[in-house]
Structure 1
Amino acid sequence: MTAHSTLAPVAVADPDPRCQVVLRAARRAFMTQGYAATRMEPIAREAGVSTATLYLYFPSKADLFAAVIEDAGRDFSRQMECVRASSGPAREQLTHFMTAYAGFMADPFVRSVFRLVMAERPRFRDTALAFFERGRSDFGGPLIRALKDLDSAGELKVAKPSWAAGQLMGMIEHPVFFMPLVTGDEIMAARSIDEIVGDAVDTFLARYAVN
């Protein structure tokens, strides 16, 4: 499991920069070793802080794990701010939106975080639910609003925007996210992102476009 990311770090709420360094070190440890095998002392050493300072920030490994997932969620939210529908005809808007979304979901770092959250869900149910709820709001919300606008403009006929958004996102997620997530990146989609998005938008418009 890789801890590499194409996403830029986002500052955490704590103003002390050492806290951010600790979170980055902990993120790498949890992703490479898993929760059970991760120890606090090596994280403190890698972050260049004392163990006492680490425990001052995070009283337990469970607290540190929850903070790491929250920090990753902030990274995701920042990245998804760039995923917005553009102006123009329905095909142009949806292609722009879904190309950005596909690029985000294809990031190996994104899959690594999801694998970690899924693996530790029984132990951190509330943390996992908050993470997935944040993702649903950040990812689905902008697309639902765009579909409503296109429906109002008479370009689409969408009775259930949330259902339609889920269908379109699902056509993207299966090849670029879920397939490599399940196979450990051993099997990747043969089609390019542009081809996947093009096929998905064609299928979606065949169902919802107003002729």
Structure 2
Amino acid sequence: MKTLGKREANKLGRRQAIVEIAALSFMEHGYAGTSMSAIATELGGSKSTLWGYFPSKEDLFAAVMDDATAEFRAQLDDVLAHKGELADTVLAFCRKFITKVTSPDGCGLYRLVAAESGRFPEVGRIFSSRGREPVGRLLAHYFQSQIDAGTMRPSDPVRAAHMVLSLCLGDLHQRTLLLGFRASPQDIVAEAEAVTADFLRAYASSESAG
């Protein structure tokens, strides 16, 4: 059992090394410019070894996305699990989300997807299924709990989640993404407060708003 445990640990370590090398390659060279052969060479193994972990570049990109978003989703889940006021929870969620999407890594990932998804639709599908969709489900689940509790008006929680995420990807994110603007903590707070205010006007119940 001890030997098996060591073998499994080695496999996990090898897999993580592949994902980290691939992440750097995708960000530096793009999806089209990244090859399984180059990753295998940098890893110091054969392509057959690499394929044993990831049968295709699409599978490898999905693993990179999972690695890039898993911890962030867990952080957002913790924010939404906090038993606080609706306004405070939504504000905390927006601050964390906007901080992420305006960060250098967040903008780099958005640029990669925007540049490559036209030629490689799988890039956009993977980005959506590993990124925005799970976050949207987390937020919609929270909103449903608030509707049930009466702090939100009866409404479609999925639509409410889409609205909040779209607003979080608004002006500040676009300026950071397209114009190279460096968002300060104060900019992020102001944007999160504006999104939260718009959300509350649209969805908060009269009791919650009061």
TM-score for both structures, normalised by structure 1: 0.75
In structure 1, the residue matched to 2:181 is 187
Query: SS in structure 1 opposite 2:56?
Result: helix
CA distance in 1, matches of 2:12, 2:203: 50
Q: 1:56 to 1:201 in 2, by over 3 A?
A: same
**Paired residue type of 1:71:** V
8 Å Cα contact 1:72-1:113 kept in structure 2: no
In structure 2, the residue matched to 1:31 is 27
Query: SS in structure 1 opposite 2:124?
Result: helix
1:63-82 superposed matches below 5 A: 63-64=56-57, 66-82=59-75
After TM superposition, the runs of 4+ consecutive aligned structure 1 residues lying more than 6 A away are none
Q: 1:36 to 1:209 in 2, by over 3 A?
A: closer
Q: 1:205 to 1:16 in 2, by over 3 A?
A: closer
Percent identical across equivalent pairs?
22
Aligned pair 1:15/2:8, yes or no?
A: no
In structure 2, the residue matched to 1:171 is 167
- CA distances 1:51-77 after superposition (whole Å, capped 9, x unpaired): xx2443138x99235403432233302
**Paired residue type of 1:99:** R
Among 110, 123, 126, the residue aligned to 2:122: 126
Q: 1:77 to 1:62 in 2, by over 3 A?
A: same
8 Å Cα contact 2:62-2:130 kept in structure 1: no
CA distance in 1, matches of 2:164, 2:33: 38
CA distance in 2, matches of 1:140, 1:172: 12
Among 184, 194, 197, the residue aligned to 1:199: 194
Question: Greater shift after overlay, 24-33 or 127-136?
Answer: 127-136
In structure 1, the residue matched to 2:50 is 57
Instruction: Give structure 1 stretches of 5+ with no counterpart.
Output: 1-12
The count of residues paired between Structure 1 and Structure 2 equals 193
**Paired residue type of 1:80:** R
8 Å Cα contact 2:32-2:116 kept in structure 1: no
CA distance in 1, matches of 2:130, 2:37: 31
In structure 2, the residue matched to 1:143 is 139
Q: 1:98 to 1:172 in 2, by over 3 A?
A: same
**Paired residue type of 2:67:** R
Aligned pair 1:210/2:205, yes or no?
A: yes
Shift of 1:83: 0.4
Question: Greater shift after overlay, 78-87 or 16-25?
Answer: 16-25
Query: SS in structure 2 opposite 1:81?
Result: helix
8 Å Cα contact 1:175-1:188 kept in structure 2: no
TM-score for both structures, normalised by structure 2: 0.76
Among 91, 95, 102, the residue aligned to 1:95: 91
